[in-house]
Amino acid sequence: MLFVLKIGGSILFPAIEENTKILKDFCKIIVDLAKKGHKIAVVAGGGAPARFYIRILENLGLSSFESDIIGINITKIHAQLMAYYTKKIALNQGIHVSDHVCENALEVLRELKNNDICFSGGFYPGQSTVAVASIIAEAINADAILLATNVDGVYDKDPKIHSDAKKFAKITVVDMRKILVEQSAKAGMYKLIDFVAIKIMERSGIPAVIFDGRNPFNLCSIVEHLVNRDMEKLTEIGTLIMS
Ligand code: UTP
């Protein structure tokens, strides 16, 4: 199958410290999936390092555009780190890994012609890396968009704040948009997905799964359930977003 995998920066780098375990585990799992015949376009998020710099830019009174450019650069560093490490561990394993960080979806299309795995960070100001994942998925006609984040699915409100928040097993893109509209009116909104991503998911019809990436091995289960078309098991460990 052909996947786009977005790994949240909050998973890769939840804090500014040298913790490489999650990053290494994800790279190893991605290599194993490629060895099984899957192709994967990976998108890396910005996490704590991006937020650290974005706060500095705010203190300096710089613009949102400038903050986004710095955020994008941090995501690209994370993508490059993953690309180098994945290429290193994939050596002599019969698969091809691109260590070029793609700057747009056309580059992803090109890299996946000759490689099983390629990497991107952010693309343009004004959106998130979930939007990047959706744009890539549409460009390469992916089977699914896999969103590894630090919650185990989509809730009707932020589960980290509200103990009575309810998790959806499945949700339509239209309902996802409604939640986003309600939440974006409030401070500290529950941010899992952005409007650009919603729009692209809606028109492409490519299903997305939001799952808990704090355990990278959840990715193996998600892929297995997708291959077996076992949607019941899939929704036990994540939320399925479909059109
Ligand atoms: P994200 O907010 O998408 O990364 O990008 P993340 O860390 O994975 O998010 P979570 O919290 O784990 O879900 C980091 C920053 O990079 C900029 C934005 O400023 C964003 O806040 N960015 C990213 C863009 O401007 N354009 C892009 O295409 C991607």
Kindly give the distance from the C-alpha atom of residue 129 to the centroid of ligand 1, in angstroms, as a whole number: 5
What is the rounded average pLDDT of the residues 85-92?
Answer: 97
DSSP-assigned beta bridge partners for residue 230: none
Query: What atom of ligand 1 comes closest to residue 191's alpha carbon?
Result: 13
Residue 216 CB neighbour total at 10 angstroms: 21
- 2-242 adopts what CATH topology? Carbamate kinase (3.40.1160)
CA distance 45 to 54: 14
In this prediction, residue 229 has a pLDDT band, given cuts at 50, 70 and 90, of very high
Burial of 91 (0-12, 13-18, 19+ CB in 10 A): exposed
Residue whose CA is at the smallest distance from ligand 1 atom 15: 71
Structure tokens belonging to residue 174: 């239209």
Q: How far is CA 230 from its chain centroid?
A: 22
Q: What would the pLDDT profile of 166-191 be if each residue is shown by its tens digit?
A: 999 999 999 999 888 887 755 444 57
Buried b (16+ CB within 10 A) or exposed e, 225-243: bbeeeebeebbebbbbbbe
Residue whose CA is at the smallest distance from ligand 1 atom 2: 128
Residue whose CA is at the smallest distance from ligand 1 atom 14: 46
148 or 178: which leads in pLDDT: 148
Q: Is the CB of 71 under 6 A from ligand 1?
A: yes
Report whether pLDDT(107) > 60: yes
Q: Is the CB of 148 under 6 A from ligand 1?
A: no
CA distance 144 to 196: 17
Q: Report the DSSP pairing between strands 170-172 and 238-242.
A: parallel
Buried b (16+ CB within 10 A) or exposed e, 31-59: bbbbeeebbbbbbbbbbbbbbebbeebee
pTM score of the predicted model: 0.96
Predicted confidence at residue 187, as pLDDT, reads: 46
Q: Is the CB of 120 under 6 A from ligand 1?
A: no
Query: What atom of ligand 1 comes closest to residue 47's alpha carbon?
Result: 7
Q: For a substitution probing ligand 1, which of 66, 101, 129, 211 has the most ligand atoms within 8 Å of its CB?
A: 129
What are the extents of the domains in the chain?
2-242
Predicted confidence at residue 185, as pLDDT, reads: 59
Report whether pLDDT(118) > 80: yes
Identity (one letter) of the amino acid at 125? P
Q: Is the CB of 45 under 6 A from ligand 1?
A: yes
